[in-house]
Amino acid sequence: MSRQSKSHVIRRSLTAAAIAAIAAVVLSACSATAEAPSGAPEGAGVQVVDEALLSDLGLAGLDARAIVDRLDAQPLAERPDDYSASVRPDALVITDASQRETTLPMPADEFYVSIAPYETQTHECYFHSLTGCVGEIHNGEVDVLITDTSSGEVLIDESRTTFDNGFVGVWLPRDIDVQVTIGYDGKTATTELSTRSDEDATCVTTMQLA
């Protein structure tokens, strides 16, 4: 192979590597796991809360539910840039800029899922990032209907305002299957979710309004 051909191959390989690296960064901006996990989610198992880390991050004295509610509803302009927070079914995983990490147990009887309905633009997500995910419809009035598919019980039937990040967050009972319908601007989207497993999604970005 000539020197010119070798240079061309090297440049092409470097370009491909650069594209792959950029794609990885874009996907990880929302969640460390964009696709369904193959095993137990990271952060599962024994959870030891690092109170010193939480204090350093201004989260002292808060449990997982309080932190989730605060961060998901936080205006985008006020989002922290010195740590990340990822919602797993069994734990809230918090990691600071120096890679110190702690996990807080999620409520034993409640499951949190954050939903970003959309019309034209969405992104891949599986475990919701409270500090990274951004949906399409910011501060929009949506109608939320969630029904237990086994019993037919209506769990939520109300109007909500999506957070500044474009999501609407809901706390659901564990160990059930539900049907979710979102209405916005005369359009609707419906999907089915599960809260039975530690591998179930906490981030839903596949509900296209039509």
Residue 140 exposed, middle or buried by CB count within 10 Å (0-12, 13-18, 19+): middle
User: Could you give the 3-state DSSP secondary structure of residue 59?
Assistant: coil
Task: Please choose, from the candidates 177, 179, 135, the residue with its C-alpha nearest in 3D space to the C-alpha of residue 156.
Answer: 179
Residue 28 exposed, middle or buried by CB count within 10 Å (0-12, 13-18, 19+): middle
Report the chain's terminal Cα–Cα distance, integer Å. 55
Quick check: pTM over 0.85? no
For the domain made up of 110-204, the CATH class stated in words is mainly beta
Give pLDDT tens digits for 141-184.
999 999 999 999 999 999 999 999 999 999 999 999 999 999 99
Instruction: Tell me the pLDDT of the chain (210 aa) as tens digits.
Output: 544 444 443 344 433 333 333 333 333 356 444 445 544 444 444 557 899 999 999 999 999 999 999 999 999 999 999 999 999 999 999 999 999 999 999 999 999 999 999 999 999 999 999 999 999 999 999 999 999 999 999 999 999 999 999 999 999 999 999 999 999 999 999 999 999 999 999 999 999 999
